[in-house]
Amino acid sequence: MRERLSLAGRVAVITGGAGLLGARFAAALADAGAAVAVADLDEAAARRVAGGLPSRRKPLARGYKLSLPKPASVRRLERRVARELGPVDILINNAATKTPGFFRPFESYALEDWNAVMDVNLTGAMVCCQVFGGAMAQRGRGSILNIASIYGVVGADQRIYEKSEHLGRPINTPAVYAASKAGLLGLTRHLAAYWGHRGVRVNAVTPGGVFSGQNEEFTRRYCQRVPLGRMARADELTGAILFLAGDA
């Protein structure tokens, strides 16, 4: 099975690669033999993640700055990765953002916050698909994975957010997050049909709640509404990532 999931000789780009999920995905891809480009707005953090990845071959991993949704930044990343690691076979659109007003109530949600989140979560993924997916289509092969969310499919039960905190701050799931992830699922379906005949596979990974420091009250309320009775762990998503990234 490990051989079937091998990504030896492949080059992967992960946006938001310095975050909780991005760093786990990067480690899994590197362990499977891929050369990994860790792309993040925080270039220093991206380099730290890349520097800590397991080494099966050199050059295995590099950290890069990426400012989404700027097309020039994405094109610059594509050129650098192609030059330093090789043509990109795998794109993981994982980048997401939170603004200072991210958790405001819907009735008072600022358009500036809405647009800023959409710019990264949805438009940024679209631009990355244009640049990297277009190159994949020209070569006749490639895999794009868009990291969506259960809240792109179902509405968030607001009762679970009573007295809920994440790392000491009150939290909720704002409408802009749900809308951006629903849009990402729509983009995934469209591009899967658009590029399928050219050898480019486009899929979405749509996790439920992943534990990342939420307080006990949130965790209890959330788990009461989940058949498994618990939240997911970040490392539980890597199997799906490896399966969809490769040819297994």
- What's the total number of domains in the chain? 1
- Tens digits of residue pLDDT in 72-92: 999 999 999 999 999 999 999
- Tens digits of residue pLDDT in 13-38: 999 999 989 999 999 999 999 999 99
121-130, 139-148, 234-243: range with lowest mean pLDDT: 234-243
In this structure, is residue 5 part of a structural domain? Answer: no
User: Structural domain of residue 140, as residue ranges?
Assistant: 11-156+173-212+237-245
CATH number, domain with residue 15:
3.40.50.720
Choose the catalytic residue: 64, 151, 161, 177.
177
Q: How confident is the model at residue 211 (pLDDT cuts 50, 70, 90)?
A: confident
- Tens digits of residue pLDDT in 39-52: 999 999 999 999 99
In this structure, is residue 45 part of a structural domain? Answer: yes
Q: How confident is the model at residue 169 (pLDDT cuts 50, 70, 90)?
A: confident
In this structure, is residue 3 part of a structural domain? Answer: no
Between 3 and 229, the more confident residue is 229
In this structure, is residue 165 part of a structural domain? Answer: no
In this structure, is residue 144 part of a structural domain? Answer: yes
In this structure, is residue 2 part of a structural domain? Answer: no
Residue 177: active-site member: yes
Residue type at 184 in one-letter notation: L
Residues contacting residue 130 through CB under 8 Å, at least 6 positions apart = 71, 74
146: nearest Cα among 192, 198, 97: 192
> What does 107-133 look like in DSSP terms, one character per residue?
GG--HHHHHHHHIIIIIHHHHHIIIII
In this structure, is residue 35 part of a structural domain? Answer: yes
